[in-house]
C-alpha cells in the first residue's frame, strides 16, 4: 500500500465525538503496551504519527487517523493495565463496546497479542465478544524479534490454539522492515470493498 497521506483526525472519549462513518475503518485492539501504536506506525511507514510509550495505560481515548483520504485507522485504548481505577475501566468498557458493536464503517479489528506471552484472559474475552457480534478479526503476534528464531513457530501455534483460530496469526516486529506485507495483503481487500 502506498501511503500518500496519514493524518491525525481526533481523539474521542465518548461515542458522540466519533467522526462520521463515511470512510471504511480498521481498528487496532490489544492490551496496553502490546505494540498497537507501533504496528500502526509500521504499517504507515511513519516513525511517530501515533505516539508510542513504554509506560502503559496512558491513553483512554479512541484515536482516529485518516489515511490517503480513503480510510481510517483507529487506535483503541489498551486494556489490562492494573493501575487504572475501576470507574475509568467501566467508562473504557462502555466506550469500546459501543464502538465495536455499533460502528457501521468498521471493516475489521486487528487484535494484537504479545508473541512471547500469548493471549491474556482479556484478549480471549475480546476475541469471543467480537466473534459473538460477527466482527471479523485478524490476529497479529507482536514483538516477534524478542523470540528466538527457533521459538517463533511454537509460539504462533500456541496463540492459534489458545484463541481457537482457523489460521496462523500474522507476525510483526518493529525492527524488521517488510514484516507488514502480509498484514497489508489481508487488509487491502477489506478497504477496497
Ligand atoms: N522490540 C520490540 N519492541 C516493540 C515492538 N512493538 C512495540 N515495541 C515497544 O513496546 C512498547 C509499547 O509499544 P506501543 O506501540 O506504545 O504499545 P501500545 O500501548 O499497545 O500502543 C514501546 O516501548 C515500543 O517501542 C516490537 O515489535 N519489537
Ligand atoms: Mg498506544
Residue 173 sits in a domain of what CATH number? Answer: 3.40.50.300
Asked if the model's pLDDT at residue 8 lies above 90, the reply is yes
174 lines ligand 1 (CB under 6 A): yes
Residues 37-82: pLDDT tens digits?
Answer: 999 999 998 888 887 766 655 557 899 999 999 999 999 988 776 6
Q: Is the residue at 133 inside a domain?
A: yes
Alpha helices in 103-148 (DSSP H): 121-132
Q: Is the CB of 33 under 6 A from ligand 1?
A: yes
99 within some domain: yes
Does 81 map to a domain?
Answer: yes
Would 146 be classed as within a structural domain?
Answer: yes
Report the b/e string of 63-74 with b at 16+ CB within 10 A.
bbbbbeeebbbb
Q: Is residue 10 part of a domain?
A: yes
Q: Flag whether 87 is in a domain.
A: yes
Measured CA to CA, the distance from residue 128 to residue 187 in angstroms comes to 21
**Which residue's CA is minimally distant from atom 6 of ligand 1?**
35
Please indicate whether residue 36, judged by its CB atom, sits closer than 6 Å to ligand 1. Answer: yes
To test the pocket of ligand 1, the residue of 29, 33, 74, 180 to mutate (highest count of ligand atoms within 8 Å of its CB) is: 33
pTM for the structure as a whole: 0.94
The domain tally of the chain equals 1
- The pLDDT score that the predictor gives to residue 93 is 82
Domain residues for 13?
6-192
- Is 1 part of any domain? no
- Is residue 129 situated within a structural domain? yes
Amino acid at each position: 500500500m502506498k501511503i500518500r497521506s496519514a493524518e491525525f483526525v481526533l481523539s474521542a472519549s465518548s461515542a458522540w465525538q466519533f467522526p462520521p462513518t463515511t470512510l471504511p475503518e480498521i481498528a487496532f485492539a490489544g492490551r496496553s503496551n502490546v505494540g498497537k501504536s507501533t504496528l500502526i506506525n509500521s504499517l504507515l511507514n511513519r516513525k511517530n504519527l501515533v505516539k508510542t510509550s513504554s509506560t502503559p495505560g496512558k491513553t483512554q481515548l479512541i484515536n482516529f487517523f485518516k489515511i490517503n483520504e480513503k480510510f481510517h485507522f483507529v487506535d483503541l485504548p489498551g486494556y489490562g493495565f492494573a493501575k487504572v481505577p475501576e470507574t475509568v475501566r467501566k467508562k473504557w468498557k462502555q466506550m469500546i463496546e459501543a464502538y465495536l458493536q455499533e460502528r457501521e464503517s468498521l471493516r475489521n479489528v486487528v487484535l494484537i497479542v504479545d508473541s512471547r506471552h500469548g493471549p491474556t484472559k482479556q484478549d480471549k474475552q475480546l476475541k469471543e465478544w467480537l466473534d459473538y457480534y460477527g466482527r471479523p478479526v485478524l490476529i497479529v503476534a507482536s514483538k516477534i524479534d524478542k523470540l528466538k528464531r527457533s521459538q517463533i513457530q511454537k509460539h504462533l501455534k500456541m496463540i492459534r490454539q489458545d484463541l481457537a483460530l482457523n489460521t496462523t496469526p500474522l507476525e510483526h516486529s518493529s525492527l524488521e522492515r517488510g514484516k507488514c506485507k502480509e498484514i497489508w495483503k489481508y487488509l487491502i481487500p477489506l478497504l477496497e470493498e
